[in-house]
Amino acid sequence: MSLELYRRKRSFDKTREPEPGKPLPGGRRALFVVQLHHASRRHYDFRLQVGDALKSWAVPKGPSYDPAVKRMAVEVEDHPVEYAGFEGHIPKGQYGGGHVARFDHGVWSTHGDPEEQLAKGHLRFELFGDKLKGGWHLVRSGKPARQPQWLLFKDKDAYAGTLEADDLLGDVAAPPAADARRAGGGKPARRKLAALPRRPGRKRDWARLAAALPDARKAAAPDGPFRPQLARLGQAPPDGGHWLHEIKWDGYRILATVREGQVRLWSRNAIEWTGRIPDIRAAVEALGLRSAALDGELIAGAGTRDDFNLLQATLSGERNGTLAYVLFDLLHLDGIDLAGAPLLERKALLERLLDANPGHLAYSSHIQGDGDAAYRMAGEQDFEGIISKRADRPHVAGRSDDWRKTKQLASDEFAVVGYTAPKGSRSGFGSLLLARPDPEHGWRYAGRVGSGFNDVLMGEVTARLQGGVRQPSVHVAATDTDLRSARWFAPRFVVEVFYRGIGGQGLLRQPSLKAVRGDKGIHALADTDQAEAPMHATRGGKKATKKVTRSAAPEKTAKKAVRKAAKKTPKKTPKKTPRADATCPLPTLSSPSKVLFPDTGTTKQDVWDYYRAVAAHLLPEIAGRPLSIIRCPSGTAKACFFQKHHTAGLELVSLVQLKEESGNNADYLVVEDEAGLMELVQFNALEFHPWGAHAHAPDVADRVVFDLDPGPDVPFAEVRKAAADIRRILADLELESFLRASGGKGLHVVVPLNPGCDWGLTKRFAHGFADALAASEPHRFLATASKRLRNKRIFVDYLRNGRGATAVASYSLRARPGAPVAMPLSWSELPRLAKAGAFTIDSALARLKRRRKDPWEGIERVRQDLARWAQQE
């Protein structure tokens, strides 16, 4: 319903209700409000902001905290967002005449598009109010009615209980007696405000655990924000086993402090954000700590580059995304100062603290010693880059060489020092003039940015560009005719800009706005002393040298030690970690009710039960092979991460030491039995991706995998046809192949090799096969990974056929909506397959129960290799 219906029902010269049409204030989250309305019938009005309006329902009995109680909610007309602040009397004779009092208000969020969910008839959401908290559902009723009827009920979460809305009226304004009698009969008894629901935290002696860390000491709780540690920008990840490498989350740096149980949240430059992100405040409160200092990044979605826009839109109220706080450092815990402890020790304690995974908190995992692999993985998953940190060092406030960042696409922060006039149909401004600190001139002109703005951002930025003079306010060493009519002012605010290198005059090449950094002030740029300037030119630009004033001796010494260690031949036999007894009992499952797939409600217990049921089928696919996993500690809707190295805490999973491309040796995960598999499930592993080789012979490939990845608008029928064609061509080469539905978008064609082949030959075969296919039918196939070129074509992904590359295992879950499963198929099933994600955690088990024969039966007995192809090469 539009606001026009709201307008038609009211006479605004007779009622104080807000009239639609006022522009929404910027910079606030999507809100909800619940109002107690004594009209012709007493009821609660339940309203959720979706875009520029409040979706509204009349709930006669009000919300209940009991998940078994489903309250009728009658959908009514949309209301303007300003209505959330309305209280008081609607005159008799006007629509809804009677008394309105605000019962509760706050912000709300949901996974996915709320309008799509409402259209489908089921909205799952979270409320962050003073009285209404946690997860809720609105489900459309199938009963015919004049107005759409829904059911409002509580999710089964930690807040669920027996409270009713009427139990929480102690602070709600009472209606006039006449309104009360008309609406419900008699004067309502005033009730004492019942105890509000609180999420229980785990009881553990964190002070004792914190005090056991090296160089920990007793200290008072933090009083206000602390100075965070910052990273320098580099071109490549540093080498050495003393470095750990984390995802560079694309969000806002947030510092959390707890003092006497009270949580406060701060931006990097000490601006308080506690009121802006109540969902994160509630999640930190749920840890039940007396005092703490936590460091992390506020993200939306998975925290990739593409999710940054969702984060900004959520914080501004344009969208209703779910936020998460990804934590990567712990500096104080229950009276113990941990800043002096080594980072690796601090992170291990942080991971234990977050083991229960309270909602909206996530642990930022890491890869130790293999920065190249971490950087490659970050690029494959569309993250901005990685942060490399010295694992053995204490916390050092400010910027230092102990933290390094390596970005996939160059971006940097600049001060806005002016603007050019708009051209054509554009209004406001043409482009922003940018500057960066300069040791000689104070500030130096760096270029201008005019792309990357939407209409809302254009309006907000234009409002900040008042004034200015013709004379440049910074040093300008470049020639740019458009600057003759520009307006200049002193550095005013900070923006972050993507760019593709530095031009000959020192100006940014192809800049595009990434964000207006309201969380950072001008002093944040000035304090860097150019520390964040790239050490080398970024890709696409001319090489530029830069002197970096720092000691290189420790780094050179470390590199020599790594090169010396790399000359030793690594052992290839998987090493068993110590176990309690020979029977290898399964690990204990923790947090069984934690929801890992929010769209289906699939819990950790469901995932555990699934992997127990398919273990006999999955283990032949992964046992004895180096393994990569995808872990989702807070569920698939939040940050997941990739892991391939063995880490502390794994007791039932084996490891194999392998040499990596960097020359370093690293301990890789190897699962040998069901106990090891289930230990990884307990560690929130959802996906299993094995090598195409065994751990005892890592240089011998025994599988070739062609992943058919369709571009947009490619019908699945075309993917099926492509798989059948590839099978036929392989058969012409006397190679038998097998079929797998990936659980994602495409299909896998798998070629077993027995005896195996070296990786060089295997990779040449896979690449050559894909190139030949693309050359023969360029309108159907593509052999390059560029997404830009993939439209209406199928990328034949041969990149999974190199040493260290992986492909998802048959029977593995996928960390995607719907809990899909990668499923092996017989070729006879291909014509009937509807989509690559046709099998889910539920239907996969049903399929196994009725299946008479394994479609991949005998794959291990197929004897074939690439010798025939190599002879033709």
- How deeply is 312 buried, as exposed, middle or buried, from its count of CB atoms within 10 A (0-12, 13-18, 19+)? buried
Q: What does each C-alpha distance from 872 to 765, 768, 864, 869 come to in angstroms?
A: 11, 12, 16, 5
* 81: CB partners within 8 A, 6+ apart: 24, 31, 49, 52, 53, 54
Distance CA 150, CA 141 (A): 5
Q: Across the strands, what pairs with 57?
A: 46, 75
Distance CA 790, CA 795 (A): 7
Please answer whether residues 331 and 226 qualify as being in contact, where contact means their C-beta atoms are separated by less than 8 angstroms: yes
Q: Is 248 a catalytic residue?
A: yes
Sheet-wide strand order for 781-782: 781-782, 794-797, 700-710, 747-758, 738-741, 823-825
Q: Across the strands, what pairs with 217?
A: 337
Tokens of 640: 């997941």
Please answer whether residues 266 and 255 qualify as being in contact, where contact means their C-beta atoms are separated by less than 8 angstroms: yes
Tokens of 386: 């990685």
What is the number of alpha carbons within 13 Å of residue 167 lying toward its C-beta?
14
Among 55, 131, 248, 594, the active-site one is 248
Please answer whether residues 258 and 290 qualify as being in contact, where contact means their C-beta atoms are separated by less than 8 angstroms: yes
Largest CA distance in the chain: 97
φ, ψ (nearest 5 deg) of residue 858: 90, 0
The per-residue b/e assignment along 689-722, b for 16 or more CB within 10 angstroms, e otherwise, is bbbbbbbeebebbbbbbbbbbbbeebebebbbeb
Q: What is the DSSP string of 585-645?
A: PPPPP--TT-EEETTTTEEHHHHHHHHHHHHHHHHHHHTTSEEEEEE-TT-TTS--EEE-B
Please answer whether residues 855 and 744 qualify as being in contact, where contact means their C-beta atoms are separated by less than 8 angstroms: no
Which of 836, 872, 560 has its CA nearest to residue 718?
A: 836
What angle separates helix 674-682 from helix 604-622, to the nearest 10 degrees?
A: 140
Distance CA 434, CA 507 (A): 10
DSSP state at residue 228: P
Q: Across the strands, what pairs with 473?
A: none
Q: Give the H or E element holding residue 3.
A: helix 3-8
Q: What is the DSSP string of 94-134?
A: STT-EEEEEEEEEEEE-SS-HHHHHHHTEEEEEEEESS-EE
Peptide bond before 710: cis, by omega within 30 degrees of 0? no
Q: What is the DSSP string of 454-505?
A: -HHHHHHHHTT----BSS-SSB--S--GGGGG-EEEEEEEEEEEE-S-B-TT
Distance CA 280, CA 32 (A): 17
- How deeply is 546 buried, as exposed, middle or buried, from its count of CB atoms within 10 A (0-12, 13-18, 19+)? exposed
Q: Across the strands, what pairs with 293?
A: 257, 332
Provide the sign of the torsion angle of the four alpha carbons 152, 156, 157, 161, taken in this order: positive
State the catalytic residues: 248
